[in-house]
Structure 1
Amino acid sequence: MSSDAPVGARPPAGKTFFGHPRALSTLFLTEMWERFSFYGMRAILVLYLTAAVADGGLDLGESSANAVYGTYNAMVYLMALPGGWVADRLIGARRSVLWGGVVIAAGHYVMAIPTGWSVFAGMALIVLGTGLLKPNISTMVGDLYERDSPRRDAGFSIFYMGINLGAFIAPLITGFLGERINWHLGFGAAAVGMTFGVLQYVLGRRNLGDAGARPADPLLGADRRRALTRIGVATVVLLAVLLVLLVAGWFTVDTVVNLLTVVTVLVTVGYFARILTDREISGTERSRMKAYVWLFLFAASFWLIYDQAGSVLNIFAADRTDRSLGGFTFPASWLQSVNPILIIIGAPLAAALWLKLGHRVSTPTKFAVGLVLNGLSFVLMAAAAQAAVGGDLVSPLWLVAVYAIQVAGELSLSPVGLSATTKLAPVKYASQMLGLWFLATAVGDAVGGQVARLADTWSQPVYFLTFGLASVVLGLAAVMFTRQIRHLMAGIH
């Protein structure tokens, strides 16, 4: 094993899973069910928020609903940062994944309660649970491989396929139940999926060997008590702020969304500053972190556009597409399954491609390709929106084509980014760095939720074309700086 493998990690031996450690199957299935619950709920969230009260919805305006959706996604990924810290310093990745799954399931069960308040309370629980589970299960996947092994990218691509298997199945079930029968029944189906995930993880833990068994850098004695005290104080302060907002009459959807967007950006800046100024990391680790700042910005820009699939594009599917098929009008949320099924098809091809290319194509180049493709998808979406001007319904194949281009971009950036994060991470920040990677999604989604408000005031063709071209230009600029970023990566490919 490489000497710079994550602290405490010892890849388990024994049977294999598609040529990879058997433990990958346990993590694959756990993540599959967690993503089933997440994407199943996400597929119908904006549609529920914008649906009329008479139809069982909350009757929020599209602008506010898009912002809520973006901010919710941002909070899910923002909480990955403290979730990584909890694993690194307190309880280890393995127990973090278990408790995260339990809290996520509880959140979805709360959302299944047929009242308006239950949705927001349930989302809060899901945010907390996903913060514990999401970064730490990815860290455990990284523990199965040596740090610079060419098989590492392939392993993450297979793991990524599990994510998208759950994401493919979920909208077909929750979408039909939610849109055709009852929204809260759809949320309940997501809860059942997460329950399966928890049970599978408990039964499969014997495959994991030492992966995630212990904290990477545990807090002991007085340091542990001090940290727990600070967490308690921070919780009390947060509750006090929420109470003040409520009493002052400022506790509105828009106020909370705007506040959380600012918090997301400030946390990002603060956390990067903390790592880069930490005197306990080596000069090589600091150089790699400087390279990571660029990859982070590219990733955040990617998710700003990409994750509008569940908001702006989902509403477009509901209002502007002809979904009739042989006398049956299929739910708009079913189109949310197009993206993951294309990834299921493409992920093994991408895994094989990265394994064959080895180190000949650098990580920054893969990121640049993802940005350009993501931008081209919105350029195509501008054409679809133009075809729908005047109220005409367009073929859903427009959206299928848009998602196909986005999938090609995602496979160039997302699983590669997961792997790059585990390779570039300073040892001291092993699990927290996975949280930092998901923070890129948080920033992209938070800002994207605010950007999506423009879809209500700009014409849709102009909206899609503007941000599509911006992403293409950023991707081309990334190509120009590839050599400099590779130099900062200090031997990591």
Structure 2
Amino acid sequence: MATRLTTLPNAEQNIFGQKPALFVLFFTEMWERFSYYGMRVLLVVFLVDIAFGETPWSRADALALYGIYTGFVYFTPMIGGILADKYLGYRNAVILGAFIMTLGHAAMAFEIEYAFYLGLLLLIIGNGLFKPNISSIVGQLYQNEPERKDGAYTIFYMGINAGAFLGILLCSYYGESAEYGYSYGFGLAGIFMLIGLIQFYFAQGIFGRIGLPPSEMAAYDDANPNATTQSTREAAAVEPDGATLDAHLTKIQDGGVHDEAGHPVSEGDGQDGPRAIRWGIIGAVIMVVMYFIVQYVAGPQDNALQVFSRHFMPPIIIGSVVGFLGWILSDTSLYQVERDRVWSIIVFSFFIVFFWWAFEQAGGSMTIFALDYTDRTLDAENAGTFKIANLLLTVIPVMVLTYVLFKLFAITFKKYSLANLVLGFAFVIVWILVGIMLYEQFTNESLEVPAGWFQIFNSLFIICFAPAFAKLWEQRISWLKRGPVKFAMGLILLGIGFAILALGAAGIPDGAETASVSMFWLIAAYLFHTLGELCISPVGLSYVSKLAPVRLIGLMFGVFFVANFVANFAGGLTGSYIEPIAEAVGLSGFFLIFAIIPIAAGIIFIAISGWMKKMMHGID
């Protein structure tokens, strides 16, 4: 197929010093994140507003479903990574995942109960195929340039948040509007997911042989006999004589691992099936034991959703994580340094749980705070200030993204004209939607700010600060080059953000159902949350790609996203207790929990950073 078997662009052509292929992934991920965050920003508001039938959901039920959904969204990447590594190839996995997610968003747009749940299920499955594997392609683009990975992943992360910014802005406006309604918000998410799918499909030739399944690599090599070999090296592993595995093993063109003499070296222990069964049984036993423990501790629940969330989900998480990690670490084909680096990925993943557990309150309890406790109604005078600010906040980022689009056009339009036309059409739609939104806001004397609007600040701050952080990570500052230090900085900054929010909520009486707190506190909290996120998330993606054995890179991205599975569910579960906790210690005390725990985790991570450096074996 022509779109899959073409060559990479000239190496001298770049966009802001990065490869054009990175920006194909940038825009693909941007539209996928548009769809994910556009739907996510509406989920809790939809459930507590109208849901299905005459009675809206309680906060506890809405936040419980939010935790289950966002948790499983990050569980399925573990499976998607395995399927891509062994069977599908990364590009096929991305395409199939995007198609399934498009169907999921379409189902939700009907606002019919069974279609709503079907849509959530399809989004969970599709995201599992999409999320780890597009990140894997980014890593492979820079396989021979590890020093550039942190910067590349930070730019890629800027694309993620550009999509989140647009999705939250437009889906919350049209979805929460009485004139349009939730179907419009959910429908927009599906339209842009479809655009992302089409654009990636017709531009995928820009990756050369990267991301192809093994069965298609031979066809690529036959069609491109003079193409530069995309050789990669396995991670270094210290042997008794002090030599490294890097001196003995090379990933050559046919995708196999060979020694210096050209003899094949086993990439597995041949026991994947029995090991999987053994650790699956161990995980199942742990699930059963944990179920009875949790049932005793949690006590009876009011409805099936709460029973599943509080009785079944914790055992499922603990059993599956133990079984999955046991299966990976029992692989006897891992060399000692590979094993140590896998352990370091697991430690990074453990600490990132504390970050995302708190951070994901943005779509849960922080949305409730915006909906019920924040003064969002603006009179004519304040509405004027908001309109001007919103105009600048909206138009400037879209102009920047349009400029990036034209830079990509200049290099790739000739070879990938259809993909570029689809991408250009998407931006035409965005500008039309933005124009309608701004016109309607400017023609209203007073207005109510949508509850989801505040979440744009996370994405907006990332768009503003990501280039600066990308440059910061490239500076030759010894202590700043250490991954654990970056992670610790992120956790502490996140904690400071929640401390600010706790301070803003200090005046709200215990157990109050509503209040009118200034918008400032939410915006300030999002600023610190974003600075923390830039220290953790793109850097974490980069470190997984550096530390993971090449043959297991998709699987190890799956491990990294399992941490998000645990964190997202735990965040939703904790958020579902907002009312009893707020009654006991106040809403300020509730948010203070999310300040203290991440800061403590950051301090601990700094304390073990020396040990982590040894486990990483030379990876900065």
Report the Cα offset of residue 368 of structure 1: 0.6
Contact map agreement 1:71 1:261 (CA 8 A) in 2: no
Partner of 2:110: 113
Report the Cα offset of residue 440 of structure 1: 1.1
Partner of 1:463: 590
Q: Does residue 104 in structure 1 map to residue 101 in structure 2?
A: yes
Distance, in Å, in 2 between the alignment partners of 1:159 and 1:420 is 14
Contact map agreement 1:147 1:423 (CA 8 A) in 2: no
Closer, same or farther: CA 22–49 of 1 in aligned 2, 3 Å: same
Report the Cα offset of residue 358 of structure 1: 6.5
Give the TM-score normalised by structure 1: 0.88
Give the TM-score normalised by structure 2: 0.71
Report the Cα offset of residue 119 of structure 1: 1.5
Partner of 2:45: 47
Partner of 1:204: 203
Report the Cα offset of residue 381 of structure 1: 1.3
Listed one character per residue, the Cα deviations across residues 180-233 of structure 1 (whole Å, up to 9, x for unaligned) are: 132122111100010110111112112111111125789xxxx9xx99xx9xxx
Partner of 1:257: 309
Partner of 2:349: 296
Report the Cα offset of residue 165 of structure 1: 0.5
Aligned residues: 465
Q: Does residue 164 in structure 1 map to residue 161 in structure 2?
A: yes
Contact map agreement 1:49 1:59 (CA 8 A) in 2: yes
Partner of 1:407: 530
Q: Does residue 85 in structure 1 map to residue 82 in structure 2?
A: yes
Partner of 1:379: 499
Paired letter, 1:378: F
Closer, same or farther: CA 57–112 of 1 in aligned 2, 3 Å: farther
* Pairing partner for 2:361 from 285, 291, 308: 308
Report the Cα offset of residue 290 of structure 1: 2.1
Partner of 2:550: 427
Listed one character per residue, the Cα deviations across residues 29-53 of structure 1 (whole Å, up to 9, x for unaligned) are: 1000000000000001001111145
Paired letter, 1:62: R
Distance, in Å, in 2 between the alignment partners of 1:491 and 1:138 is 23
Q: Does residue 276 in structure 1 map to residue 329 in structure 2?
A: yes
Mark the structure with the bigger radius of gyration: 2
Listed one character per residue, the Cα deviations across residues 333-363 of structure 1 (whole Å, up to 9, x for unaligned) are: 1111111000011111110110123664200
Listed one character per residue, the Cα deviations across residues 258-297 of structure 1 (whole Å, up to 9, x for unaligned) are: 4234323322222222222210010001111222222111
Percent pairwise identity: 35
Please list every run of 5 or more consecutive structure 2 residues that lacks an aligned counterpart in the other structure. Answer: 1-6, 215-254, 258-269, 278-301, 384-445
* Pairing partner for 1:342 from 449, 458, 461: 461
Closer, same or farther: CA 57–404 of 1 in aligned 2, 3 Å: farther
Partner of 1:63: 60
Closer, same or farther: CA 344–400 of 1 in aligned 2, 3 Å: same
Partner of 1:243: none
Report the Cα offset of residue 454 of structure 1: 2.3
Distance, in Å, in 2 between the alignment partners of 1:375 and 1:156 is 24
**Which range is displaced more, 418-427 or 142-151?**
142-151
Report the Cα offset of residue 179 of structure 1: 1.1
Partner of 1:486: 613
Partner of 2:3: none
Contact map agreement 1:147 1:422 (CA 8 A) in 2: no
RMSD: 2.9
| 2:464 counterpart SS class | helix
Distance, in Å, in 1 between the alignment partners of 2:114 and 2:256 is 39
Counterparts of 1:206-245 in structure 2 under 5 Å? 206-215=205-214
| 1:394 counterpart SS class | coil
Distance, in Å, in 2 between the alignment partners of 1:116 and 1:57 is 13
Counterparts of 1:108-147 in structure 2 under 5 Å? 108-146=105-143
Q: Does residue 365 in structure 1 map to residue 485 in structure 2?
A: yes
Closer, same or farther: CA 147–286 of 1 in aligned 2, 3 Å: farther
**Which range is displaced more, 56-65 or 413-422?**
56-65
Partner of 1:285: 338
Paired letter, 1:21: K
Distance, in Å, in 2 between the alignment partners of 1:289 and 1:13 is 35
Partner of 1:6: none
Q: Does residue 174 in structure 1 map to residue 171 in structure 2?
A: yes
Contact map agreement 1:114 1:184 (CA 8 A) in 2: yes
**Which range is displaced more, 11-20 or 339-348?**
11-20
Report the Cα offset of residue 86 of structure 1: 0.7
Closer, same or farther: CA 251–398 of 1 in aligned 2, 3 Å: closer
Point out 4+ residue stretches in structure 1 off by more than 6 angstroms: none
Report the Cα offset of residue 453 of structure 1: 2.2
Closer, same or farther: CA 57–379 of 1 in aligned 2, 3 Å: farther
Partner of 2:540: 417
Contact map agreement 1:300 1:444 (CA 8 A) in 2: yes
Closer, same or farther: CA 127–57 of 1 in aligned 2, 3 Å: farther
Closer, same or farther: CA 203–401 of 1 in aligned 2, 3 Å: same
Please list every run of 5 or more consecutive structure 1 residues that lacks an aligned counterpart in the other structure. Answer: 1-9, 231-249
Distance, in Å, in 1 between the alignment partners of 2:256 and 2:163 is 33
